[in-house]
A = this chain, B = another copy of it.
Amino acid sequence: MSFHTIVPAGGIGSRLWPLSRAARPKFLLDLGGEGASLLQRTVARLAPFAMSQTVVTGAAHAAAVREQVPTADILVEPSMRGTMPAIALAAELVRRRDPEAVVGSFAADHHIRDERAFGAALGSAIGAAEAGYVATIGIAPDSPSTAYGYIHAGNRLSAVAGIGEASGTGPVFDVREFVEKPDSARAARYLETGEFLWNAGIFVARASVLMEALERYHPEIAGPVRELAARWGDATLRAEAIEAFWKPLPVAVIDRAVAEPLSEDGGVVVVPADMGWSDIGDYESLARLLADAKGPRIAVDSPGSLSLASKPVAVVGIEGAVVVEMDDVVLVTTREAAQKVKEAREEAREAGLGSLL
Protein backbone atom coordinates (compact mmCIF):
# COMPACT_ATOMS: atom_id res chain seq x y z
CA MET A 1 0.00 0.00 0.00
CA SER A 2 1.42 3.33 -1.08
CA PHE A 3 -0.65 5.99 0.64
CA HIS A 4 0.24 9.69 0.60
CA THR A 5 -1.62 12.51 2.27
CA ILE A 6 -2.41 15.98 1.01
CA VAL A 7 -3.45 18.56 3.59
CA PRO A 8 -4.58 21.91 2.18
CA ALA A 9 -4.03 24.47 4.92
CA GLY A 10 -5.59 27.72 3.85
CA GLY A 11 -8.72 29.10 5.49
CA ILE A 12 -8.42 31.67 8.26
CA GLY A 13 -11.55 30.47 10.08
CA SER A 14 -13.02 33.94 10.35
CA ARG A 15 -16.01 32.82 12.40
CA LEU A 16 -13.49 32.03 15.12
CA TRP A 17 -12.08 35.54 15.14
CA PRO A 18 -10.31 36.85 17.21
CA LEU A 19 -8.82 33.47 18.17
CA SER A 20 -8.05 32.98 14.50
CA ARG A 21 -6.24 35.76 12.67
CA ALA A 22 -4.97 36.28 9.16
CA ALA A 23 -1.45 35.78 10.50
CA ARG A 24 -2.41 32.88 12.78
CA PRO A 25 -5.19 30.98 11.07
CA LYS A 26 -7.35 28.34 12.68
CA PHE A 27 -5.26 25.36 11.54
CA LEU A 28 -2.24 26.66 13.47
CA LEU A 29 -4.24 26.91 16.72
CA ASP A 30 -4.59 24.41 19.54
CA LEU A 31 -8.37 24.81 19.70
CA GLY A 32 -8.87 21.45 21.37
CA GLY A 33 -6.58 22.44 24.21
CA GLU A 34 -4.47 19.33 23.65
CA GLY A 35 -1.01 20.80 23.37
CA ALA A 36 -1.01 20.47 19.57
CA SER A 37 -2.51 22.56 16.80
CA LEU A 38 -5.27 21.20 14.58
CA LEU A 39 -2.69 20.89 11.79
CA GLN A 40 -0.29 19.01 14.04
CA ARG A 41 -3.07 16.69 15.18
CA THR A 42 -4.10 16.11 11.55
CA VAL A 43 -0.57 15.18 10.49
CA ALA A 44 -0.06 13.00 13.59
CA ARG A 45 -3.38 11.22 12.99
CA LEU A 46 -2.37 10.38 9.43
CA ALA A 47 1.26 9.49 10.15
CA PRO A 48 0.66 5.75 10.80
CA PHE A 49 -0.86 5.37 7.33
CA ALA A 50 1.19 7.70 5.15
CA MET A 51 4.39 7.16 3.20
CA SER A 52 4.59 10.91 2.71
CA GLN A 53 2.58 13.91 3.79
CA THR A 54 2.24 17.16 1.88
CA VAL A 55 0.83 20.30 3.43
CA VAL A 56 -0.29 22.77 0.77
CA THR A 57 -0.27 26.32 2.07
CA GLY A 58 0.28 29.92 1.06
CA ALA A 59 3.65 31.65 1.21
CA ALA A 60 2.48 33.67 4.24
CA HIS A 61 2.13 30.56 6.40
CA ALA A 62 4.88 28.33 4.99
CA ALA A 63 7.34 29.12 7.77
CA ALA A 64 4.79 28.55 10.55
CA VAL A 65 3.67 25.28 8.96
CA ARG A 66 7.28 24.11 8.59
CA GLU A 67 7.89 24.84 12.23
CA GLN A 68 4.76 23.06 13.41
CA VAL A 69 5.06 19.94 11.23
CA PRO A 70 8.75 19.54 10.32
CA THR A 71 8.21 15.97 9.04
CA ALA A 72 5.75 17.02 6.33
CA ASP A 73 6.64 18.27 2.87
CA ILE A 74 5.47 21.83 2.33
CA LEU A 75 4.00 22.67 -1.04
CA VAL A 76 3.76 26.42 -1.33
CA GLU A 77 0.72 27.27 -3.40
CA PRO A 78 1.81 29.86 -5.98
CA SER A 79 -1.47 31.71 -5.45
CA MET A 80 -4.95 30.80 -4.18
CA ARG A 81 -6.97 28.85 -6.75
CA GLY A 82 -9.21 26.84 -4.41
CA THR A 83 -8.76 23.24 -3.30
CA MET A 84 -8.95 21.57 -6.74
CA PRO A 85 -5.77 22.98 -8.30
CA ALA A 86 -3.91 22.69 -4.97
CA ILE A 87 -4.84 19.02 -4.47
CA ALA A 88 -4.32 18.19 -8.14
CA LEU A 89 -0.82 19.66 -8.14
CA ALA A 90 0.13 17.75 -4.99
CA ALA A 91 -1.45 14.55 -6.35
CA GLU A 92 0.28 14.85 -9.69
CA LEU A 93 3.65 15.39 -8.00
CA VAL A 94 3.06 12.19 -5.99
CA ARG A 95 1.89 10.30 -9.09
CA ARG A 96 5.04 11.24 -10.98
CA ARG A 97 7.12 9.63 -8.20
CA ASP A 98 4.78 6.65 -7.75
CA PRO A 99 2.20 5.92 -10.47
CA GLU A 100 0.32 3.45 -8.22
CA ALA A 101 0.07 5.86 -5.30
CA VAL A 102 -3.16 6.43 -3.43
CA VAL A 103 -3.59 9.97 -2.21
CA GLY A 104 -5.98 11.28 0.41
CA SER A 105 -6.86 14.91 1.04
CA PHE A 106 -7.85 16.02 4.53
CA ALA A 107 -8.77 19.38 5.98
CA ALA A 108 -6.02 20.82 8.16
CA ASP A 109 -8.40 22.30 10.72
CA HIS A 110 -10.91 19.64 11.71
CA HIS A 111 -11.00 17.83 15.03
CA ILE A 112 -11.51 14.06 15.39
CA ARG A 113 -11.93 12.63 18.84
CA ASP A 114 -12.03 8.92 18.02
CA GLU A 115 -8.84 8.18 16.13
CA ARG A 116 -9.49 4.43 16.12
CA ALA A 117 -12.79 4.94 14.27
CA PHE A 118 -11.03 7.32 11.90
CA GLY A 119 -8.35 4.73 11.20
CA ALA A 120 -10.93 2.04 10.44
CA ALA A 121 -12.81 4.34 8.06
CA LEU A 122 -9.60 5.40 6.37
CA GLY A 123 -8.63 1.75 5.89
CA SER A 124 -11.92 1.14 4.07
CA ALA A 125 -11.49 4.28 2.00
CA ILE A 126 -7.97 3.30 0.95
CA GLY A 127 -9.25 -0.16 0.02
CA ALA A 128 -11.94 1.39 -2.17
CA ALA A 129 -9.40 3.76 -3.69
CA GLU A 130 -7.15 0.85 -4.60
CA ALA A 131 -10.16 -0.71 -6.31
CA GLY A 132 -10.43 2.41 -8.50
CA TYR A 133 -12.99 4.54 -6.69
CA VAL A 134 -12.78 8.04 -5.35
CA ALA A 135 -13.69 7.37 -1.72
CA THR A 136 -14.89 9.84 0.83
CA ILE A 137 -15.48 9.48 4.55
CA GLY A 138 -18.96 10.72 5.51
CA ILE A 139 -19.83 11.77 9.02
CA ALA A 140 -22.84 10.11 10.62
CA PRO A 141 -24.90 13.18 11.61
CA ASP A 142 -26.08 13.55 15.20
CA SER A 143 -28.25 16.61 14.51
CA PRO A 144 -30.08 18.19 11.56
CA SER A 145 -27.26 20.64 10.90
CA THR A 146 -27.64 23.25 8.20
CA ALA A 147 -23.94 24.11 8.37
CA TYR A 148 -22.66 21.23 6.23
CA GLY A 149 -23.13 19.78 2.78
CA TYR A 150 -24.53 16.25 2.78
CA ILE A 151 -23.62 13.03 0.98
CA HIS A 152 -26.54 10.86 -0.06
CA ALA A 153 -25.40 7.26 0.36
CA GLY A 154 -26.79 4.59 -1.99
CA ASN A 155 -26.18 0.85 -2.19
CA ARG A 156 -23.79 -1.00 0.00
CA LEU A 157 -20.74 -2.27 -1.85
CA SER A 158 -19.70 -5.10 0.42
CA ALA A 159 -19.23 -7.16 -2.72
CA VAL A 160 -16.33 -5.07 -3.97
CA ALA A 161 -13.23 -7.12 -3.60
CA GLY A 162 -10.90 -6.11 -0.81
CA ILE A 163 -13.09 -3.40 0.62
CA GLY A 164 -15.87 -3.10 3.13
CA GLU A 165 -16.48 -5.72 5.79
CA ALA A 166 -14.39 -8.17 3.88
CA SER A 167 -11.25 -6.37 5.06
CA GLY A 168 -12.52 -6.05 8.61
CA THR A 169 -12.87 -2.30 8.49
CA GLY A 170 -16.39 -1.12 7.73
CA PRO A 171 -19.12 -0.90 5.12
CA VAL A 172 -18.78 1.14 1.94
CA PHE A 173 -21.67 2.66 -0.02
CA ASP A 174 -21.88 4.19 -3.43
CA VAL A 175 -22.65 7.91 -3.49
CA ARG A 176 -25.94 8.94 -5.09
CA GLU A 177 -25.19 12.59 -4.91
CA PHE A 178 -23.56 15.42 -3.04
CA VAL A 179 -26.07 17.97 -1.79
CA GLU A 180 -25.51 21.56 -0.76
CA LYS A 181 -26.14 22.88 2.75
CA PRO A 182 -29.89 22.32 3.26
CA ASP A 183 -32.49 24.43 5.04
CA SER A 184 -33.56 23.12 8.42
CA ALA A 185 -36.70 21.31 7.23
CA ARG A 186 -34.68 19.43 4.66
CA ALA A 187 -31.89 18.75 7.15
CA ALA A 188 -34.47 17.20 9.50
CA ARG A 189 -35.69 14.92 6.68
CA TYR A 190 -32.10 13.96 5.85
CA LEU A 191 -31.48 12.96 9.45
CA GLU A 192 -34.68 10.90 9.52
CA THR A 193 -33.88 8.80 6.44
CA GLY A 194 -30.51 7.72 7.81
CA GLU A 195 -29.15 7.85 4.25
CA PHE A 196 -27.37 11.18 4.49
CA LEU A 197 -23.92 11.88 5.84
CA TRP A 198 -22.04 15.13 6.43
CA ASN A 199 -19.40 15.96 3.87
CA ALA A 200 -16.16 16.48 5.77
CA GLY A 201 -14.13 17.16 2.61
CA ILE A 202 -12.12 13.95 2.82
CA PHE A 203 -11.27 12.39 -0.55
CA VAL A 204 -9.14 9.29 -1.09
CA ALA A 205 -8.21 8.00 -4.58
CA ARG A 206 -5.39 6.74 -6.68
CA ALA A 207 -3.54 9.84 -7.87
CA SER A 208 -3.97 8.53 -11.40
CA VAL A 209 -7.73 8.09 -10.96
CA LEU A 210 -8.05 11.60 -9.56
CA MET A 211 -6.08 13.12 -12.42
CA GLU A 212 -8.02 11.14 -15.02
CA ALA A 213 -11.31 12.31 -13.53
CA LEU A 214 -10.06 15.89 -13.54
CA GLU A 215 -8.96 15.45 -17.15
CA ARG A 216 -12.46 14.25 -18.01
CA TYR A 217 -14.44 17.02 -16.25
CA HIS A 218 -11.96 19.87 -16.25
CA PRO A 219 -9.22 19.45 -18.83
CA GLU A 220 -8.55 23.20 -18.54
CA ILE A 221 -7.30 22.49 -15.03
CA ALA A 222 -5.76 19.03 -15.47
CA GLY A 223 -3.61 20.02 -18.44
CA PRO A 224 -1.89 23.07 -16.92
CA VAL A 225 -1.45 21.26 -13.59
CA ARG A 226 0.38 18.38 -15.37
CA GLU A 227 2.53 20.89 -17.25
CA LEU A 228 3.44 22.69 -14.04
CA ALA A 229 4.13 19.45 -12.14
CA ALA A 230 6.47 18.31 -14.89
CA ARG A 231 8.57 21.47 -14.34
CA TRP A 232 8.22 21.73 -10.56
CA GLY A 233 11.60 20.16 -9.74
CA ASP A 234 13.60 22.87 -11.48
CA ALA A 235 13.38 26.31 -9.85
CA THR A 236 13.76 28.30 -13.07
CA LEU A 237 11.33 26.20 -15.08
CA ARG A 238 8.94 26.24 -12.16
CA ALA A 239 8.84 30.02 -11.96
CA GLU A 240 8.08 30.25 -15.68
CA ALA A 241 5.50 27.49 -15.50
CA ILE A 242 3.70 29.17 -12.62
CA GLU A 243 3.27 32.23 -14.82
CA ALA A 244 2.25 30.20 -17.83
CA PHE A 245 0.10 27.46 -16.30
CA TRP A 246 -0.94 28.29 -12.74
CA LYS A 247 -1.79 31.97 -12.90
CA PRO A 248 -4.46 31.51 -15.62
CA LEU A 249 -6.18 28.67 -13.73
CA PRO A 250 -9.79 29.22 -12.63
CA VAL A 251 -10.70 28.92 -8.95
CA ALA A 252 -12.24 25.50 -8.30
CA VAL A 253 -13.07 23.27 -5.35
CA ILE A 254 -12.65 19.50 -5.47
CA ASP A 255 -16.23 18.74 -4.40
CA ARG A 256 -17.75 20.61 -7.30
CA ALA A 257 -15.02 19.98 -9.88
CA VAL A 258 -14.63 16.21 -9.51
CA ALA A 259 -16.60 14.59 -6.68
CA GLU A 260 -20.05 15.71 -7.84
CA PRO A 261 -19.80 14.86 -11.54
CA LEU A 262 -17.94 11.61 -10.84
CA SER A 263 -20.60 10.53 -8.34
CA GLU A 264 -23.16 10.86 -11.10
CA ASP A 265 -21.02 8.52 -13.14
CA GLY A 266 -20.90 5.98 -10.30
CA GLY A 267 -17.26 6.57 -9.46
CA VAL A 268 -17.53 7.77 -5.85
CA VAL A 269 -18.08 5.75 -2.69
CA VAL A 270 -18.53 6.79 0.90
CA VAL A 271 -17.43 5.21 4.16
CA PRO A 272 -19.73 6.28 7.01
CA ALA A 273 -17.88 7.09 10.20
CA ASP A 274 -18.94 7.99 13.70
CA MET A 275 -15.63 9.32 14.96
CA GLY A 276 -16.36 12.39 17.08
CA TRP A 277 -15.73 14.68 14.15
CA SER A 278 -16.00 18.45 14.38
CA ASP A 279 -15.02 21.10 11.90
CA ILE A 280 -14.96 23.60 14.80
CA GLY A 281 -16.47 25.99 12.31
CA ASP A 282 -17.68 28.55 14.83
CA TYR A 283 -17.96 29.20 18.55
CA GLU A 284 -21.09 27.04 18.86
CA SER A 285 -19.04 24.16 17.56
CA LEU A 286 -16.05 25.04 19.75
CA ALA A 287 -18.35 25.33 22.78
CA ARG A 288 -19.74 21.86 22.09
CA LEU A 289 -16.15 20.60 22.17
CA LEU A 290 -14.92 22.60 25.16
CA ALA A 291 -17.64 24.16 27.26
CA ASP A 292 -17.46 21.62 30.05
CA ALA A 293 -13.73 22.18 30.36
CA LYS A 294 -13.68 25.89 29.59
CA GLY A 295 -16.76 27.27 31.30
CA PRO A 296 -16.32 30.66 32.91
CA ARG A 297 -14.85 30.66 36.41
CA ILE A 298 -18.00 32.34 37.71
CA ALA A 299 -21.38 31.72 36.09
CA VAL A 300 -24.74 33.00 37.35
CA ASP A 301 -27.73 31.89 35.25
CA SER A 302 -25.40 31.27 32.30
CA PRO A 303 -25.45 27.57 31.42
CA GLY A 304 -23.36 26.29 28.52
CA SER A 305 -21.05 29.27 28.48
CA LEU A 306 -17.53 29.24 27.07
CA SER A 307 -14.67 31.36 28.27
CA LEU A 308 -11.20 31.65 26.77
CA ALA A 309 -9.31 34.28 28.68
CA SER A 310 -6.07 35.05 30.46
CA LYS A 311 -7.90 35.87 33.70
CA PRO A 312 -11.03 34.82 35.58
CA VAL A 313 -14.29 35.51 33.73
CA ALA A 314 -17.69 36.06 35.35
CA VAL A 315 -20.84 35.70 33.25
CA VAL A 316 -24.23 36.76 34.61
CA GLY A 317 -27.55 36.01 32.96
CA ILE A 318 -26.44 35.02 29.44
CA GLU A 319 -27.19 31.48 28.33
CA GLY A 320 -24.43 30.05 26.14
CA ALA A 321 -22.25 33.12 26.45
CA VAL A 322 -18.93 33.10 24.60
CA VAL A 323 -16.15 35.28 25.98
CA VAL A 324 -12.80 35.44 24.23
CA GLU A 325 -10.28 37.74 25.85
CA MET A 326 -6.97 38.24 24.08
CA ASP A 327 -4.03 40.61 24.43
CA ASP A 328 -5.48 43.12 22.02
CA VAL A 329 -9.24 42.56 21.86
CA VAL A 330 -12.23 41.05 23.69
CA LEU A 331 -15.06 39.28 21.86
CA VAL A 332 -18.38 38.63 23.59
CA THR A 333 -21.16 36.73 21.85
CA THR A 334 -23.47 33.76 22.33
CA ARG A 335 -23.44 30.27 20.86
CA GLU A 336 -26.68 31.20 19.13
CA ALA A 337 -25.17 34.26 17.44
CA ALA A 338 -21.90 32.50 16.61
CA GLN A 339 -22.41 32.66 12.85
CA LYS A 340 -22.31 36.45 12.95
CA VAL A 341 -18.81 36.71 14.37
CA LYS A 342 -17.61 37.02 10.80
CA GLU A 343 -19.45 40.34 10.61
CA ALA A 344 -17.65 41.60 13.67
CA ARG A 345 -14.35 40.86 11.95
CA GLU A 346 -15.54 42.87 8.95
CA GLU A 347 -16.60 45.72 11.23
CA ALA A 348 -13.19 45.70 12.86
CA ARG A 349 -11.68 46.15 9.41
CA GLU A 350 -14.02 49.02 8.62
CA ALA A 351 -13.33 50.60 12.00
CA GLY A 352 -9.65 50.83 11.09
CA LEU A 353 -8.65 48.06 13.49
CA GLY A 354 -6.69 46.22 10.82
CA SER A 355 -4.13 44.98 13.32
CA LEU A 356 -6.85 42.84 14.91
CA LEU A 357 -7.62 40.88 11.75
Contacts and interface: CB of A to CB of B under 8 A. Distances in A.
Interface of A: 18, 296-301, 309, 311-318, 321, 323, 325, 327-334, 336-337, 340-341, 343-344, 347-348, 351, 353, 356
Contacts of A298: 344, 347-348, 351, 353
17 contacts: A18-B314, A297-B348, A298-B347, A311-B327, A311-B328, A311-B330, A312-B328, A314-B348, A316-B337, A316-B340, A316-B341, A317-B336, A318-B318, A318-B321, A318-B333, A318-B337, A325-B330
B351 A332 contact: no
A11 to B, nearest CB: 20
Contacts of A347: 298-300, 314
A316 B330 contact: no
Contacts of A18: 314
Given A314-B18, A337-B318, A353-B312, A300 B344 contact: yes
A313 B300 contact: no
Given A297-B353, A298-B347, A318 B340 contact: no
A113 to B, nearest CB: 28
Main secondary structure of the interface of A (DSSP, over half): mixed
Contacts of A314: 18, 329-332, 344, 347-348
Contact of A313 (B297, B309, B313, B329): B329
Given A300-B337, A312-B348, A321-B332, 16 more contacts: A296-B332, A297-B351, A297-B353, A298-B353, A300-B347, A311-B329, A312-B329, A312-B356, A314-B332, A314-B347, A314-B348, A315-B333, A316-B341, A316-B343, A317-B333, A332-B332
A42 B337 CA distance: 42
Contacts of A328: 311-312
B317 A340 contact: yes
Nearest to A331: B314
Shortest Cβ-Cβ A-B pairs, 10 listed: A317-B337, A316-B333, A314-B344, A313-B330, A298-B347, A300-B343, A314-B331, A316-B344, A312-B329, A315-B332
Contacts of A334: 316-318
A310 to B, nearest CB: 9
